[in-house]
Structure 1
Amino acid sequence: MSLPTPHLGFALALALAIASLGCETPQQPPAPPPPERSTTAAAASSSSVSETSTASATPSTSAAAPKPPSAELYRRLEHTLLRLGDRFYAVADREHLPTLLDEAGRRAQRRYWSPDGTRFVYVQPAAGEPNGGRVDLWISDAALTAPELLVRAESDDDRRAREAKEDYQTSTTAIRGLAFSAEGKEVYFEADAWSSVNAIQAVDVSTKKVRFVVGGGGLVVIPEGPKRGSLLVSQWRTKGKQPANDHCAVFDTNGKELASIGWYEDGSPDKALFCTLEHPAVKKALGMR
Structure 2
Amino acid sequence: MGTGRLLIVAALICSGGAWAQQEVTGHPLVTPYDGSQGGGEYWEYNRYDLIVGFDFEVREAVTERIEGRVTRLYYESPDERSELEIFTNYRLALEEAGFEEIWSCAGDGSCTTGSTRNRFHQANGIRAINGPNSHYAVGTLGYEDRLAYVAVATGRHGTSIDIIETAEMDTGMVAVSAEALADGLDADGHVRVDGLLFAHDSDELLAESAAALDALHSLLLNRPNLNLYVVGHTDMTGSLSYNLDLSRRRAASVISALVDDYGIDPSRLEPQGVGPLAPEATNATEAGRTHNRRVEIVVR
Confirm or deny a common fold (TM above 0.5).
no
User: Of the two, which has the highest radius of gyration?
Assistant: 1
Structure with more contact order per residue of length (Cα contacts < 8 Å, sep ≥ 6): 2
TM-score by length of 2: 0.23
More helix by share: 2
